[in-house]
């Protein structure tokens, strides 16, 4: 069955430092891949999504993600973290022809001054 794994439950990063959040998916083929962010007491918002093509996808607020078919990964990164990036980040996979978006367990990002 398809699944998404986010191995890091929590990451703490200093403001201005770089950030990478890991995501591994399990699926035979190339799924549609997404990163969503959940700010405190809010619903999820889309950061970026991947369609087959360029492996590096640009998103909002300086985020980007890189797809690797050989590693079954879709890692998220940001060059310089801001305090407003304090949130929970979810990786998600959607199957072609499917209607359900499957989410990982999420990674909480804390930003220290």
Partner 1 sequence: DPKIIQKPKYLVAVTGSEKILICEQYLGHNAMYWYRQSAKKPLEFMFSYSYQKLMDNQTASSRFQPQSSKKNHLDLQITALKPDDSATYFCASSQDGLSNERLFFGHGTKLSVL
CB 24 within 8 A of CB 72: yes
Binding residues among 52-91 for partner 1 as defined by CB under 8 A: 90
- Taken as a whole, the chain contains a residue count of 113
For residue 16, the minimal CB distance to partner 1 (Å) is 30
Of 22 and 49, nearer to partner 1 (C-beta) is 49
Residue 30 or 72 having the CB closest to partner 1: 30
CB of 71 to partner 1, least distance (A): 22
Residue 91 beta carbon to partner 1: minimum distance, rounded to whole angstroms: 10
- 9 contacts partner 1 (rule: CB under 8 A): no
**11 touches partner 1 (CB under 8 A):** no
Q: Which is nearer to partner 1, 87 or 104 (CB)?
A: 104
Q: Which long-range contacts (CB under 8 A, 24 or more apart) does 27-33 make?
A: 27/2, 27/72, 27/93, 27/95, 29/96, 30/69, 31/2, 31/93, 31/94, 31/95, 31/96, 32/93, 32/94, 32/95, 32/96, 33/65, 33/67, 33/74, 33/91, 33/92, 33/93, 33/94
Binding site for partner 1 (CB under 8 A): 32, 34, 36, 41-46, 49, 51, 90, 94-106
């Amino acid at each position: 069955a398809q699944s998404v794994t986010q191995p890091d439950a929590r990451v703490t990063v200093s403001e201005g430092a770089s950030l990478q959040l890991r995501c591994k998916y399990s699926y035979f083929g190339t799924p549609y891949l997404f990163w969503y962010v959940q700010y405190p007491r809010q619903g999820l918002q889309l950061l970026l999504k991947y369609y087959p093509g360029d492996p590096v996808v640009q998103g909002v607020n300086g985020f980007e993600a890189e797809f690797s078919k050989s590693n079954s990964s879709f890692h998220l990164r940001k060059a310089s973290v801001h305090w407003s990036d304090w949130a929970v980040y979810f990786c998600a996979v959607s199957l072609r022809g499917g209607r359900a978006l499957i989410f990982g367990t999420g990674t909480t990002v804390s930003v220290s001054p």
